[in-house]
Amino acid sequence: MTILIFIAVLVLLILVHELGHFLAAKYFKIRVDEFGIGFPPRLKTLFWWGETRFTLNAIPFGGFVKIFGEDPDEESIEGPEKERSFVHKSRAVQAVVLTAGVFFNALLAALFIVTAFMIGIPVSDGVYDEKYVKDPRVNVVHVVDDSPALLAGFEVGDVLLEVRSGEGEVRQIERPEDLSGFLENRAGEEVFISYERDDEEKEVSLIPQTDAVDEGAATVGLGISTVGLVSFPPHLALYEGFKHTAELTAVIAVELVRFIGNALTGQADFSQVAGPVGIVGLVGDAWAVGFAFLLYFTAVISLHLTIINLFPFPALDGGRLLFVAIESVIRRPIDPKISNALNGLGFILLIVLMIAITAHDITRIFG
């Protein structure tokens, strides 16, 4: 089921991105020869829509729209249909066609986040007005390595209910402070914590340790936070959704630029990078939380694709935009042999990168 959901998410994101390019090209009367899901070699022609062939291709890392003249050749430059060629449109039109894909991805992300806010998604305490937050509960958001909590089997997402001592003192856990206050001065003493997972109540015993930071306190190694279900009426969901999309886009852009900077200096943590195989598991986790959270997670992936596609790297939309900008400055087209060669090389490097990331995902899973 998880793999089917992942395939559906991947195909949706590809379709939306390429649909943006396709519709923009059609609007400006540019010929579109092919709309491909995946990269060649071609497996099957799905159908024809007018002059455009819709195809399914073998390499499942993305998709493409083959726009007449985007990779200039003799036919698109001097042929009988050159007026319908991308290369003969103004640079403003070229820029619009090139950015239409990422615009559609960003718009899809915003609509998914708005929908998730209307349905209701988990948020930490204090992020939104409490009148819109329902059923706040203390959730596990982190389990410290080699801690009593990890040994006891706690997992992220567990809902804490109550804690009691060996002498029978009981405290309901309604806020994070309830647990930390109860554990204070109980280092080395056995305590019992009841929690809920998958609608099933469980109880485990732990022995708190002295806190390494605050020697006067005790800890079991749980990072906890009050999490509730936030749900907005449609008009507020629209406002909060687009606002959150803008904020999230900025955060993702900063983090990706920082990661690339660290990669260039040899300081990047590649264990945090996930390719298609790695994302399968994350999609499954999101689905387990609920449909609204799956929408939110899909929106996050879509925003990552938006930012990555704008990087000025050959074969990406950002790389092609860079060529358009250079042509605007030098006031003449770049030699097609040079631009086509750079885009071809960029495409090969991207495929190699995706294969490497996929191999890393597989190694991490089975390693």
Domain at 190, CATH number: 2.30.42.10
What CA–CA distance (Å, rounded) separates 250 from 303?
10
Domain check: are 249 and 102 in the same one?
A: yes
Q: 50-55, long-range: CB within 8 Å, 24+ apart, which pairs?
A: 52/22
pLDDT at residue 274 in the model: 64
Q: Is 44 helix (H, G, I), strand (E, B) or coil?
A: strand
Q: Are residues 134 and 184 in the same domain?
A: yes
The one-character DSSP state at 226 is E
pLDDT of amino acid 321 = 94
Residue at which a domain ends, from 204, 230, 256: 230
Contact 140, 121 (CB under 8 A): no
125 within domain boundaries: no
50 found inside a domain: yes
Query: Is the preceding peptide bond at 148 cis, omega within 30 degrees of 0?
Result: no
Examine the domain organization and report whether 7 and 138 are in the same domain: no
Examine the fold and report which residue of 230, 256, 274 is the final residue of a domain before the chain moves on. Answer: 230
Q: How far is CA 217 from the centre of its chain?
A: 38
Please check whether residues 164 and 61 belong to one and the same domain.
Answer: no
- The number of beta carbons lying within 10 Å of the beta carbon of residue 90 is 9
Contacts of 225 (CB under 8 A, 6+ apart): 124, 125, 138, 139, 141, 176
Which pLDDT belongs to residue 97?
96
Q: Which helix (H) or strand (E) holds 84?
A: none
Asked whether residue 47 falls in the same domain as residue 195, the answer is no
Are 144 and 226 members of one domain?
A: yes
Question: Does residue 11 lie within any of the structural domains?
Answer: yes
- My answer on whether 333 and 250 are in the same domain is yes
Residue 250 lies in a domain: yes
pLDDT for the residue numbered 215 = 61
- Domain end, chosen from 185, 209, 230, is at 230
Q: How does pLDDT run along the chain (367 residues), one tens digit per residue?
A: 778 888 888 889 999 999 999 999 999 999 999 999 988 899 999 999 999 999 999 887 778 999 999 888 888 888 888 899 999 999 999 999 999 999 999 999 999 999 999 999 888 877 788 888 888 899 998 888 888 999 999 988 899 999 998 888 999 999 999 998 898 888 888 999 999 998 899 999 999 988 666 666 788 999 999 888 899 999 999 999 999 999 999 999 999 888 888 777 777 666 666 666 667 777 877 887 789 999 999 999 999 999 999 999 888 999 999 999 999 999 888 888 888 899 889 888 887 877 777 776 677 666 5
Q: How many domains does the chain have?
A: 2
Cβ density class 272-296: b for 16+ within 10 Å, e for less: ebbbebbbbeebeebbeebebbbbb
Euclidean distance between CA atoms 311 and 324, whole angstroms: 14
* DSSP conformational letter for 86: G
Amino acid at 29: K
Q: Are 347 and 260 in contact (CB under 8 A)?
A: no
Q: Which domain holds residue 279?
A: 2-120+239-366
- Is residue 86 situated within a structural domain? yes
Residues 54, 79: one domain? yes
Give domain status of residue 40, yes or no.
yes
In a shared domain, residues 87 and 192: no
At residue 298, the 3 state secondary structure works out as helix
Indicate the SS3 state at residue 233.
coil
Q: Are residues 244 and 362 in the same domain?
A: yes
Q: Do both 134 and 100 map to the same domain?
A: no
Residue type (1 letter), 213: V
Whether residues 252 and 352 share a domain: the answer is yes
Q: Are 17 and 63 in contact (CB under 8 A)?
A: yes
In this structure, is residue 166 part of a structural domain? yes
